[in-house]
Every structure is written in structure tokens, then in C-alpha cells.
Structure 1
Amino acid sequence: MKNKEITNKWIQYGVVAAVAVTLYATGLHAEVIGFAQRGFLATGLMDPDVEQYAQMAKTEGQSLDEMQKPKPTQADFDFNLIDKEGKAVSLSKFKGKVIFLNMWATWCPPCIAEMPTIDKLHEEMGDEVAFVMLSLDQNFDKAKAFDKRKGYDLPIYSPASNLPAMYESNAIPTTYVIDAAGNLAWTHKGMADYSDPGFKEFLQSLK
């Protein structure tokens, strides 16, 4: 009886190992882990924290002009991109609009987990906000294929020059929001639920 239990356990471990090896071999492990992490996003614990900015922008009885605000950090627009069609684009093209700049990759589970919420935000605010989904994949075709397979049709770009120092991050996903005045308004490292209504209001406040 004991030998049978041990044999069954080894069979179970073997099946799990085989599945894991298959997922890694096919490159689908990131999507499976990302799908699992998406459930964590649904709890609301990962809603983007924009409260500090909102408090700075709205204080009781004061307008932004009446407040003593810290000097804003000017965003660096000296940065070139390659779009889906292979055309060179400068980040400066989007000056004057609110910019949602997201660093991601197909091999990054948290990036995949938050992508549906970014896609929803893009559907709702794509005309008001410039979305720059910057793929850090070595093979840009892989990122474009992922976007097409998922049915997102997001504005995906690849870096065509070195990242400016202010956009260098030790983590992905990392998201930067630049306001319409060209200031770096918000930075977030790690995944978040960008379908949160509060985040949409935050973006609208930056016009």
C-alpha cells in the first residue's frame, strides 16, 4: 500500500514537471502565471495609487494656482521609438497630450496580468491620452504577434535609441504618466489595475 502511494506521488510530480517543461518550452509559462496574477488584480489591492497627486491638486479651499507646489519634473522627450509598421517616431510627437508610457515584455507575467486593464483604459481614453506601450522584448515581432493574438490592438513600440535616464527602471512593468504640460506626473513600478475609475479621473485631471 505504501509503495503504491509513493508511486502515485511520483506520477503526480512527473505530470506537474512535464506540464512545467512544456509551458517553458512553448513560452506560455509567462501567460499562465500572468493569468493567475490577474486574479490578484481583481481584488482591488493593486489599484494605482494616485491619492498623493490628487491631494496635491485638490486641497480644501485652494486651487492649484494658490498652492505652493514643488517644482515639477520636466519629462525627457529626447527618445526615439519604432512603431508596429516599422516607422521611426519621437516621443516628442505626443507633446501636448497626456502620455501613458508603459514598459513591458511578453516574458513578464505581471505585464501580461495588467494588460487587459490597460486595453480597457485604451478603449475608453485612446482619443484623449497617448498610449506608448514600449516593448522590451529582444524580438519586436514577438510583441506584435502577442498583441494581435490577444486582440488588443494597443499602440506598441520598440526603443530605437537608449532610454533616457529618467525612464530607466530596475523592474517591469513600470508605468510613467506625463501630463499635458510635459511634466512627469506619476511613476509606478509593478503591475496595477488600470481599469480603476479613479485612475481614469486622474488622467483626465492632467489635461
Structure 2
Amino acid sequence: MKNLPGKENLLKIWRTIRPWVTFAALFLLLRFTGALSGISFVTGSALLKTGALDARTEAPAVAKTFDYDFKVRDLHGNIIDFNQFKGKTIFLNLWATWCGPCRVEMPAIDELYKKMKDNDKVVFVMLSLDKSEHFSKVVNFVNDKGYSFPVFVPSGYLPKPLQVPSIPTTLVVNAEGKIVTKETGTTNFDTPKFKKFLETL
């Protein structure tokens, strides 16, 4: 029995779209679960360059209120009350040294920070969720990579919005204390559109 024309067409279509379906599956897994902790830096960096992982800039219809009532510790051991950041736009990234997707997005975040570090209305907080006994590991990691963005670790309790199921997770909090955007999974924040978004909040 000869193949039906419709079946042949479906096979041709499948052969054409199969690579894109594979890419889309990888993209969704990486972006929305943060589960690919073993992804290579090269592969992740290549994905960032496609533009498929660029940060979104649309604000939610109803922005949730951020809870500033907690403390963090900088890499010099100084305890900082998060309330001191009230009235500023906050770029808050939750990450860990063992997290592959976190490591992939960090160079782009560092580039964005360098472009914005003189803007006193915007604060960058790279908050490591490594265990407290691994503090020196966090310090060594940041120093080895030569990152210039400010890095912190929790100092006790973290509020509910920061108790996330997967990392990297990034929140942007505006000067009015509203969470205006949230990204989960590897994301490229070093884009002109996202820079402008931070500057105009």
C-alpha cells in the first residue's frame, strides 16, 4: 500500500520542525525550572546569545508588595538591614555557587551592573543561597571570577518571596516597594531594553 499524501506531508513537516521542537523543550526546561544545574557554560552562553533568553520587561497587572524586613551579610561579614534599600529600584538575584544556570547568566549581569553602577537610584543584590558554612566558598567563587557586582548571603530569616523553589530567580522591586517583574531560570539581563526598564522604574 502506498503512503498517503497526507502522511508524507506530515513526515516532511516533522523533519523540518524536529530541531526546533528539541530546542524549545530545552529552552522551557532551562528557563522555567532552573533544573539544568549541569549545563555547560558554553552551551548556556550560546543560548543567551540567541536572544531567546532575554529578560522580559512587562510589569504584572497587580504587583506584589516586597517585604524588606530581613538582613543580609556582605562578603566582608558586615550585616546589612535590607530596609536601607527602600526607595530605590532593586535588582535582586538569587543564586548559588553549585547552580549551573546561575553561573551561565552571571557574566551578563555583571556587564549590566558595570553599565549601571553609577546610577544611585538602582541597587544590585546578588544573594547567594549557599549554606552558611560555605561562606568562604562564595567569597572565593566571586573573587576567582572577578565579578564586580555586590554579593550577599542571608543573615537569618528570608521573607516568603525569596523562599523560591528553584534558582536562578531574579526579582525587580521598584522604588514604591512593588515586585514588578520576576524571572526564573537562566536569563540575559544585559540588553538595552532591560537597562532602560530599570532606569525608568
Superposition TM-score, scaled by structure 2 size: 0.75
Match of 1:8 in 2: none
Q: CA RMSD of the aligned region, Å?
A: 1.7
Give 1:38's match in structure 2, choosing from 33, 40, 45.
45
Structure 1 residue 132 and structure 2 residue 139: aligned?
A: no
Counterpart in 1 of 2:175?
Answer: 180
SS at match of 1:134: strand
Q: Please, which of 77, 92, 95 is the counterpart of residue 101 of structure 1?
A: 92
Q: 2:159 aligns with which of 157, 164, 169?
A: 164
- CA distance in 2 between counterparts of 1:166 and 1:135 reads 15
2:71/2:156 contact within 8 Å kept: yes
Query: What residue in structure 2 maps to residue 65 of structure 1?
Result: none
Kindly provide the amino acid, as one letter, of the partner of residue 74 in structure 1: T
- C-alpha separation in 1, matches of 2:112 and 2:124: 10
Larger RCO, structures 1/2 (Cα 8 Å, 6+ apart): 2
1:190 aligns with 2:181: no
Q: Distance in 2 between matches of 1:71 and 1:134?
A: 25
Aligned-residue sequence identity (percent) comes to: 40
User: Gaps (5+ residues) in structure 1?
Assistant: 1-29, 57-69
Identify if the C-alpha distance between structure 1 residues 189 and 179 changes in structure 2 by more than 3 Å, giving closer, same or farther: same
AA of the residue aligned to 1:107: W
Q: Give the CA deviation at 1:99.
A: 0.4
- Alpha-carbon offset, residue 31 of structure 1: 8.5
Matching of residue 199 in structure 1 with residue 194 in structure 2: yes
Distance 1:171 1:49 in 2: 18
Matches within 5 A, 1:47-66: 47-50=54-57, 52-53=58-59
Contact 2:92–2:171 (CA under 8 A) maintained in structure 1 = yes
Q: Aligned partners of 2:163, 2:195: CA distance in 1, in Å?
A: 25
Q: Which of 1 and 2 has greater Rg?
A: 1
Shift of 1:163: 1.5
Q: Which 4+ residue blocks in structure 1 deviate beyond 2 angstroms?
A: 70-73
- Aligned-pair CA distance for 1:71: 5.0
Q: CA deviation at 1:146?
A: 1.1
Deviation readout 1:134-183 (Å, 9 max, x if unpaired): 01112121111111111112211000022111222111000010001111
Contact 1:35–1:112, Cα closer than 8 Å, also in 2: no
What is the Cα deviation at residue 127 of structure 1?
A: 2.7
- Asked whether the equivalents of residues 39 and 101 of structure 2 are also in contact (C-alpha less than 8 Å), the reply is no
